[in-house]
């Protein structure tokens, strides 16, 4: 039953953004090389890469701030070159810092913008609620924290009901609480409002918590698009490691025939089990140790490789094969 639901979900995925063979030269430098990816309605897509990788350039091309040299971009089904206005009408974005009048309230800022775009008061109230600013919206924005300004920027970008919300490094400069608030809002927008949210970042740790999928860009090339789970699996290899804490590691070592292990100190050793039947192998080894008089205090899984390291490995090796 559950599997059927998943199949149906996959079948109904709608591409909010399709980028095909995008190339961009700035001055004399070829900055973007054949960038290809799709982002779907209902997901937070992370655009991840070190500084200078080409994230901002890609986002500027998608938002029409820079021309396409080669390749094609479709937004909400509209080709950006052929149907420029309709394509851009499907986007809400914050590329630089959100623009606002500091001497006006949050509400007045939104009203100004809404008037230009012909947006109703009802929609303004709706977006204010979506970004969690209801109780501060009538304060002047000069009293807002950076996080609140960022959220007002998101509200403004959402006014015209875009299918695609594009944010270039939106958590830069925010404190941890501000980052969490923004993260929760973006996830809600994607998962409950079915918007495609595309955020860029140079931090894997941040993308891991915020995104459903991550596209990794380096030196202007897309190295691959992965779910966070795929990244972990691809780099975890096919074995699991456990740390054993015992009274006497030397005595335990005599009982470790047929087991791959490393002695750490007098009371600790690490065991590596290949991926099949890990639990059975653990149970068997534990029994063997206890039956032979070794005091077994704790067995703990060794900490998995940090995703930040995985990201660095992927960008340095030019991508990993996932399959
Ligand atoms: N106007 C420009 N002319 C020449 N090179 C540029 C220009 N703007 C950006 N670049 C270069 O393009 C590369 C990608 O920059 P950018 O898209 O800003 O990267 P990111 O946002 O990932 O940090 C960098 O090497 C940057 O120096
Ligand atoms: Mg940038």
Mean pLDDT by 10 residues, the chain (323 residues): 47 88 96 97 95 96 96 96 95 84 96 92 96 96 94 94 95 91 94 95 90 95 89 68 94 92 92 84 94 95 72 70 49
The whole-number pLDDT of residue 150 equals: 93
Is the CB of residue 315 below 6 angstroms from any atom belonging to ligand 1?
no
Residue identifier of the C-alpha nearest atom 3 of ligand 1: 26
Catalogue all structural domains in the chain, each as residue range(s) with its CATH number: 2-233 (3.40.50.300), 238-301 (3.30.70.2860)
Q: Which helix (H) or strand (E) holds 321?
A: none
Q: Give 54 Cα–ligand 2 centroid separation in angstroms.
A: 7
**What six digits make up the tokens of 194?**
């079915």
As beta bridge partners, residue 22 has 35
How confident is the model at residue 237, as a pLDDT? 61
Distance, CA of 264 to CA of 243 (rounded, Å):
9
pLDDT of 306 reads 66
- What are the residues whose beta carbons fall under 8 Å from the beta carbon of 95, sequence distance 6 or more? 56, 59, 60, 63, 65, 166, 168
Q: Is 52 in the pocket of ligand 1 (CB under 6 A)?
A: yes
- Residue with CA nearest ligand 1 atom 2: 26
Interval between CA 59 and ligand 2 midpoint (Å): 9
Per-residue model confidence (pLDDT) at position 310: 74
Query: Two tokens at 293?
Result: 């008089």
CA of 31 to the centre of ligand 1 (A): 7
Ligand 1 atom closest to the Cα of residue 50 is 22
């Amino acid at each position: 039953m559950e599997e059927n639901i998943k199949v149906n979900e996959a079948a109904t995925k709608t591409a909010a953004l399709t980028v095909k063979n995008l190339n961009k030269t700035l001055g004399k430098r070829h900055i973007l090389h054949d960038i290809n990816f799709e982002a779907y309605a209902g997901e937070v897509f992370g655009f991840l890469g070190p500084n200078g990788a080409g994230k901002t350039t890609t986002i500027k091309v998608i938002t029409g701030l820079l021309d396409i040299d080669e390749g094609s971009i479709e937004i909400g089904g509209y080709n950006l070159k052929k149907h420029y206005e309709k394509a851009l009408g499907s986007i809400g974005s914050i590329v630089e810092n959100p623009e606002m009048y500091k001497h006006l309230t949050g509400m007045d800022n939104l009203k100004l913008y809404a008037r230009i775009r012909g947006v109703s008061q009802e929609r303004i109230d709706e977006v204010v609620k979506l970004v969690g600013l209801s109780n501060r919206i009538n304060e002047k924005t000069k009293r807002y924290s950076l996080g609140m300004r960022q959220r007002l920027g998101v509200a403004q970008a959402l006014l015209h009901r875009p299918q695609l919300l594009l944010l270039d490094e939106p958590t830069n400069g925010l404190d941890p609480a501000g980052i969490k608030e923004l993260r929760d809002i973006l996830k809600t927008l994607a998962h409950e409002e079915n918007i495609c949210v595309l955020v860029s970042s140079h931090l894997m740790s941040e993308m891991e918590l915020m995104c459903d999928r991550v596209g990794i860009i380096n030196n202007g090339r897309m190295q691959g698009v992965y779910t966070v789970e795929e990244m972990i699996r691809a780099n975890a290899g096919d074995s699991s490691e456990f740390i054993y804490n015992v009274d006497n590691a030397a005595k335990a070592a005599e009982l470790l025939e047929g087991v791959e292990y490393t002695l750490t100190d007098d009371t600790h050793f690490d065991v590596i089990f290949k991926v099949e039947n890990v639990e059975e192998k653990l149970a068997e080894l534990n029994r063997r140790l206890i039956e032979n008089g070794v005091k077994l205090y704790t067995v703990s899984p060794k900490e998995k490789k940090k995703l930040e390291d995985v990201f660095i490995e992927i960008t340095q090796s030019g991508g990993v094969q996932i399959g």
